[in-house]
Structure 1
Amino acid sequence: MTATEKSADVALSGSKEFSNDKPVVSEYGSKKPKREYRFREERLGVWSLYYPITNSWREYLPALESLWVLYDMAKSLPIIWAFVLETLSLGPIFFVAYFISSTLVGFLPAFQLYNNSNTLAFIESTMTGKHVDREQFRQIAISYFAVFSAGLIFHKIEAYSRPILQQRVSLHFKQRLLEVQSRIDLATSENPDVQSKTSRASAWFASPWSILEGLASLLAVIAEAPYEQQSDRSWLTYNDFDGIFDALPLLAFAWINIRTGGKSDLSSLVLIQQATSSLQQTLFGMIYGGNNIANLFKNVMSLYDVLELKPTMVDGEIHYPEEGHKSQKGMAIEFKSVTFKYPMTDKVILKDMSFSISSGQLCVIVGENGCGKSTTINLITRMYDSTSGEVLVDGRPLKEFKLSTYRETTSVMYQDYQHLPLTIHENILLGRPDCPNSKEGVEEAARLGGAFDFVQKLPLKFETNLEPQQTGYVNTWEDDDEEEKNIFQKFIDSQKATKLSGGEWQRLALSKSFMKNSEKVRLLCYDEPSASLDPKAEYETFERLRQLRGGKTMIFVTHRFGHLTKHADLILYVKEGSIVEKGTHKQLLELDGEYAKVYRIQSQAFED
């Protein structure tokens, strides 16, 4: 494997993050002196390692960097305090037990040092022929036993309370993150800055068994050697102070002897050496660990930034449907000069689009790939707001309706079906979790979606988990008895994924869509519902869907003409973001325009 290296000069000012090679000042950046950075990139297989090459005072006096770390940490203390209070509320007893035990464990070395000093003084007194005090020895032994017992108790309390508290904190904030992700709108969630914050916040609560930890450790080992080479070139590093700390005990002992007139004993020297060693470890731990603590503080601040995210899409106040439309079948939809481009992009997707769909109609949107068909569905369901123009529902601007009540009346099936690691029954039931008879409802939805027959052929039928999560590992040996092997084999079988074809996955998606088809639903939207179905399954699916017409407004997005377009009340032909033709199948054929041209191309394949 060969490694290529290249250097890039980049100027950094304050705390900065990089996106597409464009520096963006971080929200928590402090006004630090400007530093000039050069990065050396080294390629190791699929990995890119970056090593900073600096010529600033930070390279020669890295310990002073801790001052800025402490400054950043001080600014984040209010957020940290809020985090502590929120954590305390999750389990006051476990919280107090954990932090008190952890704090007391930190004092144990000091008590141990005191006992060692008394023991050395006692031994010295005994060896020099001075008076032997048995009571003093008994007190020293009791003190040792007390410190040992206290350490054992505190460690046990810490070990017991820590995993409970850690799990509660993790589950609590994971739930809050899920609430945020379900609360913010699609445009906000796709913002790169929001994605960066949510990914950092989510990663902070990642599973400790994550493979990423192993990869990070591996990269740390690989990067360690170049770091050592770089630190050797520094003028002053933390290791350069080792000599001072080595000489400090002797200097202190000599100074004490001068002050006491030579009355200090050897136990004092040992005590000073141990105290100096402990001080050295503490100071270096604070300096080296400062960055880690600062990063932890930044993670907590990022977490609370995410928890306070608000959707950019303003919710309406009117409940849907309104009183005058509750008896209406379906919903009426109208686009008035709608233009749209996705957030943070300049490309116009829809251009001055206008059309009207009456309540209860079956509408088919056709056109070439990338012309804006799926985007039209996104605006109808208000995943996004139009850049200009208006989307009307039942004669009122869609923005005025409360989103939660509006989306309760819509059912959308997208091309990319998301199957959760649950049973087939549970996945279909997600279409309508409040179904009174879930078993019968799920089976009926599976029949309508065309999934019932192949699900019945699976070993566990509707209780099959198609994509189970790995929850454990099993090793078996030849001398294991048959009962243990059978138990282990059942566990192994339960962890295996079930392979389905593209058409079978699409039938499950259709089944979930049919599951949501309750009396409350007024709009059914299908984005390429038959893309992976064979002709027979496609025909049967469309026939079942057509039976719903009249009672609900139905919108289909497709590039395949045939069964559906012939029976549509309205066909919208979209080209480059604009509607160039609209009407029924018969009307568009008589028009002999774009629709008729594409229809003849598709039908010619069957006629030839």
Structure 2
Amino acid sequence: MGRGSKGGTRRRRRQGTFKPDDPTIEHHKLGVWDLYVQRDLPPIAWLGWLSRWGRFEDRAEVLNDLRYLWKAVYDLRNVCLQLFIYYAATTIAMAMIPAINLWYSGQLLDIATIATVERTVDRTKLCQVAGGKFACSMALLVVGHVHSMIQRELNSRIKRYYSVHTFHALARLDVPTFEDPVVNRQIDSVLPGPGERRTIPWAAISAVFSLGSSITHMLSQSLVLLDVLSKQQDGILLAGLSALGHLFQINAKTWGTVDKTYLPAAGVWAATSNEDDFLRMEGYKRVVGSETHRKELVAGGLADYMTEQYSILVGRLGSRAGDFFQIHAESSARRLNFSKLINHIFQQLPQIVFTLRAAQYPASIPVSMASLHLIQQSSASFLGHITEFMDSTDNLAEKLSSLRKLYEADKIPVKVPDGTRPFPEDTRSLYAGVSLELRNVSFRYPGSDRDAVNNISFKLEPGQLCVVVGSNGSGKSTILKLISRIYDVTEGVVLLDGKDIRSLKLRDLRQAMAILFQDYTHFPLSIKENIALGDPENAHDEDRVREAARLAGAEEIIEHQEDGIDTYLQRPVRDYYSELPEGTTTLFGRTVDHRGMRRMIGEGPQNVSLSGGQMQRLAVARTFMRSIPSSSSDTKVGLLLFDEPSASLDPAAEHDLFARLRELRGNKTMIFSTHRFGNLTRHADLILYMNNSTIVEAGTHEQLLQCDGEYAKLWKMQAEAFL
């Protein structure tokens, strides 16, 4: 121990390093997690946190929301019906045992009273009553443990079932719907919060069980309590006074329930997960839950594929997957705590000893003292169950409301409706590209007071190349978003092969396109899967993935990564560690940050350190993945949309990219937006120069130079910069 600079006592940080492969480190496998604990330190301590319970005052809403409870039970019938029955049985047993124990306490008082007055003891009855109380105590402990085990298994199964439901509810939303603040609030209300263990359906179902348990407690204890009190002198009066005192005590406190959530708080330890299925599952969750990846998710038609893959991963991982603290707590809770068993036994001994002593020396110990204690204890317990009943009604209303919102999340109407016409009618036509026409198209983003594009019209024949040029904010990116139906036009129409794209099936429309957005994102998955998701149907074809990387010039980038193509661009699962020795600079292959480290610290997901140009090449590779030419039966893409794909590249890399684009394009129709004029404009069949949301000039490179307008002026300015 040493002194801090301000006189406070501080604990010195341990010297040395923490190495998971060191023989002094214990390794524990907890589901998908690997926990490493240093042996010579005290066991992990636990901390608690206060859970605040909301309250609903509108009881009428409960009746409407109950139908969602029945729907949840019906949906879960094949998953955990038998466990529900067991849970109900243990709940009833736990509610009845206290009443039986109270009855035995009353019998003990009767025996003590008779012993005091008549100086005689019915030893047989005494042994039976004492044995009954002991049996009640043991039964409550054992049934409570079984009840907890069933509850954890129920929660685990329900969590797995509804995680797929929630995943699909998020994945199906289009961009404008996902951006809607109302929808965002609705989504937030059904997503589990940090550290939340219980799912919304299980919270609602367990609230019903809790309400039933409180009613059973009240009815059983009220009958027994009336019987016990009627036999005691001034029993009803004493009970009333005791209840009144407890009411004042409760009124002076803040209403709430303390729910213990255990967190490692001391000792040197670290936890990580290298389970590939778990990393992928968490990565998928981050993709569908983040607005950042929404355009790629929608434009790539990835919702069905990701939902299918997520469902497979959930089924494959089972109860092994979950938050580290949850898995750790559940692992610890599975073991019966024998200290509680001993504690329960000793809790009963004082009253049994007191009763035996009263029977042995009836004149020396006033039975009224024991009677008063029993009355106070019983009335407090009864009043507590009344309070639980009142809280349960409010709690039930809240949980049922959350359950309703969960089911309604799967029915949120999307703002870009699906079409009905298949596209194309003949897939072989995609080889020659597709025709594209915009007629008087205008669009305004939700909440904006000005058009992003205004009265745009142009036409491309199959196989033509169009380059859209203009400054940032001129509307170039918006055109591509309208063509891919990320948004629907406010006015006008977009035609693909002469058909209004709003009439085409969204899945078919987006499969016929390969898109790279200016504000592209990288999924929190491996490099391989980031590229592979450009074409979900061939996502497991690693040769195709590597070919896409080669075409995009990303091979060398991948080779320099420690895990090669399996490197995660952003790790979706965080590592946890506590009180690591200060010499530990890396852990699990990642940098450890000791700044501000206290008793516990969690290292968040880390990004691979790549330049903007390198990240852009990987994004281009994902777009190329869908566009790689193969057999005629495998052609799916007829339209390529590239939005500023060379923004982060130097001139040499840009020239190389353009060459690769021409190689990839073949006969496909292509639209390329940029604010820089490169070699690609020389090969364009149509150049659109945009400014202030409108097309100012249109034509080929030579035609626009001859016009000597804005395009020619900017072309000469950029050309002079490289002379």
TM-score, length of structure 1 as denominator length: 0.74
Query: 2:612 pairs with 494, 499, 502, which one?
Result: 502
* Equivalent residue number for residue 326 of structure 1: 429
**Does 2:103 align with 1:114?**
yes
- Distance across 2 between alignment mates of 1:256 and 1:96: 36
* Consecutive unaligned residues in structure 1, runs of 5 or more: 1-64, 211-248, 258-263, 479-484
1:208-249 deviation per Cα after TM superposition (whole angstroms, max 9, x unaligned): 389xxxxxxxxxxxxxxxxxxxxxxxxxxxxxxxxxxxxxx9
Q: 2:524–2:568: 8 Å Cα contact kept in structure 1?
A: yes
**Contact between 1:424 and 1:464, CA under 8 Å: does it hold in 2?**
yes
Calculate the aligned-residue CA RMSD, in Å.
3.3
What is the DSSP-based 3-state SS (H/G/I as helix, E as strand, rest coil) of the residue aligned with 1:504? helix
Aligned to 2:73: 84
Letter in 1 for 2:691: K
Identity rate of aligned residues, in percent? 35
1:253 to 236, 246, 249: 236
State the partner residue of 2:682: 566
The answer as to whether partners of 2:94 and 2:144 remain within 8 angstroms in 1 is yes
- 1:182 corresponds to which residue? 171
Q: 1:157-556 alignment to 2 at 5 Å?
A: 157-203=146-192, 207-208=195-196, 253-254=236-237, 269-288=372-391, 290-323=393-426, 326=429, 329-435=432-538, 438-474=541-577, 489=588, 497-518=607-628, 519-556=635-672
Work out the CA distance in 2 between the residues paired with 1:520 and 1:327. 7
| Structure 2 contact 55–398 (Cα < 8 Å) conserved | no
> After superposition, what is the alpha-carbon deviation per residue over 1:545-568, rounded to whole angstroms, capped at 9, x for unaligned?
012334211111111111221221
Q: Secondary structure at the match of 1:309?
A: coil
Deviation at residue 371 of structure 1 after TM alignment: 1.7
Contact 1:450 / 1:537 at 8 angstroms: preserved in 2?
no
- Greater displacement, 491-500 / 269-278: 491-500
CA distance in 2, matches of 1:477, 1:588: 65
Counterpart residue identity of residue 354, structure 1? S
Contact preservation (8 Å) 1:351, 1:577: yes
Deviates more, 1:496-505 or 1:194-203: 496-505
In 2, Cα distance between equivalents of 1:560 and 1:91? 61
Contact 1:315/1:403, CA 8 A, preserved across alignment: yes
Work out the CA distance in 2 between the residues paired with 1:594 and 1:173.
Answer: 57
Alpha-carbon separation, structure 2, partners of 1:598 and 1:372: 18
C-alpha separation in 1, matches of 2:427 and 2:61: 58
- Report deviation, 1:297: 2.5
The correspondence of residues 47-66 of structure 1 with structure 2, limited to 5 A, is none
One-letter amino acid of the structure 2 residue matched with residue 501 of structure 1: S
Distance 2:569 2:56 in 1: 54
Count of matched residue pairs: 494
Pair 488,250 (structure 1): closer, same or farther in 2 beyond 3 Å: farther
CA distance in 1, matches of 2:585, 2:694: 62
Q: Deviations over 1:574-598 (max 9, x none)?
A: 2222212111111111111121122
1:582 equivalent to 2:698? Answer yes
Contact 1:530 1:538 in 2 (8 A): yes
Instruction: Give, in whole Å, the separation in 1 of the partners of 2:449 and 2:85.
Output: 54
Which of 125, 128, 133 is the matching residue for 2:114? 125
Cα offset, 1:280, TM superposition:
2.1
Moved more, 451-460 or 310-319: 310-319
Kept in 2, the 8 Å contact 1:69–1:290? The answer is no
Rounded to whole Å, the distance in 2 between the matches of 1:392 and 1:79 is: 43
- 1:27 maps to which residue? none
The whole-number CA distance in structure 1 between the counterparts of 2:233 and 2:514 is 80
CA–CA distance in 1 between the matches of 2:502 and 2:514?
A: 18
CA contact (8 A) 2:532 2:539 kept: no
- C-alpha separation in 1, matches of 2:374 and 2:639: 81
| Matched residue SS, 2:192 | helix
| Superposed displacement of residue 381, structure 1 | 0.5
- The answer to whether the 8 A contact 2:435-2:497 is kept is yes
* Change in 2 beyond 3 A, CA 1:549/1:85: closer
Q: For residues 357-381 of structure 1, what are the alpha-carbon distances to aligned partners after superposition, in whole Å with 9 as ceiling and x for unaligned?
A: 1111111111121121111111100
Partner of 2:709: 593
Please say if residues 432 and 462 of structure 2, whose CA atoms lie closer than 8 Å, have aligned partners that are also in contact.
Answer: yes
**2:434 partner SS:** coil
With the length of structure 2 as denominator, give the TM-score of the two structures: 0.63
User: CA 1:414 to 1:488, structure 2 compared with 1: closer, same or farther past 3 Å?
Assistant: closer
Offset at residue 461 of structure 1 (A): 1.0
Q: 1:86 to 1:103 in 2, by over 3 A?
A: farther
